[in-house]
Amino acid sequence: MEGAWLLESAKDLTTGRSLSQGAMLLLTRSRFALLAVAPDRRPPRQKQLAEYSKRELLELMRGVEGSVGEYRREGNRLALIPVFAFFPEMTGEPQVFENVRLDRERLSVEWEARGRRLLMTWRRVE
């Protein structure tokens, strides 16, 4: 499970509607970092990072949310205990990813956030 995971798809299980993507999950043996950015805040692919001014980079960072902390796996559940968060859903109490399914290249989890039950599929990145 250790490694870097890029959010490939997210779906609201109540409505069946697909949700915008733009998140990365980093897992070590016992720690996690979750970073998310709104789709309209992502830089265009054709522009290199070095081509941005400091002002442009700061403007892009305004839309980033994130959380870091510890995690533990309990059967098919992943308990995330945030130590520091600037991600509204990840502040306060520990969060739980349920129905965790892992294969070589994919990680899928269910998560309740903002009153919605989400199915998220992550793809391993090198």
Distance from C-alpha of 115 to C-alpha of 57, rounded to nearest angstrom = 32
Calculate mean pLDDT across residues 12-20: 89
Return the higher-pLDDT residue of 119 and 66.
119
Distance from C-alpha of 43 to C-alpha of 124, rounded to nearest angstrom = 22
Calculate mean pLDDT across residues 97-112: 92
Query: Considering only CA atoms, which of 26, 22, 6, 113 is closest in space to residue 60?
Result: 22
Calculate mean pLDDT across residues 36-59: 68
* Segment 80-103, tens digit of pLDDT: 988 887 765 555 667 889 999 998
Strand 95-102 versus strand 77-85 pairing type: antiparallel
Domains of the chain: 3-45+52-125 (2.40.128.280)
Confidence of residue 109 (pLDDT cuts 50, 70, 90): very high
